[in-house]
């Protein structure tokens, strides 16, 4: 099979830095078809495959750089992930407390007041600050009178989840 190949070296509007030898466009040539333009070359399918294989490493290196996320995209993704994870922990904590009878025990406001900084840090994705706040809460939890809704065991479990998420456990 004969194929018409136009390489990027002859293309004016192209992605920045793409290797010149990489095929920009290919067209199958039928019997008697001529090349579509002056900068096109004719190759067999075997020749084209060999040409691509010979240039694949260079193309792959370009592609890795060209499609790599920007520092801004990396930070945005990280922040969003931290916020989602923090809100997931908040939701889990609240569900566990509802199932444990927090409303019937009349402790909803007291627990919310006791954990308000922790909830703020988790909700904003400030996970290292959340760990620090857990350490502060651990100093007074035994005297808080909020068991079983806030206990050192539960706080340490959440601290461990944060550390695992952050890769610091």
Which pLDDT tens digit goes with each residue over 53-81? Answer: 999 999 999 999 999 999 999 999 999 99
The domain segmentation of the chain, as residue ranges, is: 2-66, 71-166
User: Per-residue pLDDT averaged across 4-16, rounded?
Assistant: 96
Return d(Cα 150, Cα 103) in angstroms, integer.
Answer: 14
pLDDT band at 100 (very low <50, low <70, confident <90, very high): very high
Q: What is the 3-state secondary structure (H, E, C) of the chain?
A: CEEEEEEHHHCCCCCCCCCCCCEEEEEEECCCCCCCCCCCEEEEHHHHHHHHHHHHHHHHHHHHHHCCCCHHHHHHHHHHHHHHHHHHHHHHHHHHHHHCCHHHHCCHHHHHHHCHHHHHHHHCCCHHHHHHHHHHHHHHHHHCCCCCCCCHHHHHHHHHHHHHHHCCC
pLDDT band at 169 (very low <50, low <70, confident <90, very high): confident
């Amino acid at each position: 099979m004969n194929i018409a190949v136009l390489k990027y070296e002859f293309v004016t509007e192209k992605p920045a830095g793409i290797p010149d030898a990489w095929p920009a466009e290919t067209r199958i040539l039928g019997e008697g078809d001529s090349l579509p333009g002056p900068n096109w070359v004719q190759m067999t399918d075997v020749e084209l495959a060999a040409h691509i294989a010979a240039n694949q490493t260079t193309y792959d290196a370009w592609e890795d750089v060209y499609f790599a996320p920007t520092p801004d995209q990396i930070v945005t993704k990280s922040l969003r992930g931290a916020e989602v994870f923090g809100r997931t922990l908040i939701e889990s904590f609240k569900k566990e407390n509802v199932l444990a009878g927090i409303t019937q025990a009349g402790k909803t406001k007291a627990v919310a007041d006791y954990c308000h900084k922790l909830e703020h840090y988790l909700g904003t994705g400030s996970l290292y600050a959340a760990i620090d706040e857990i350490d502060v809460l651990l100093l007074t939890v035994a005297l808080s009178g909020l068991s079983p809704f806030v206990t050192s065991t539960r706080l340490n479990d959440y601290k461990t989840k944060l550390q695992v998420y952050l890769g610091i456990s």
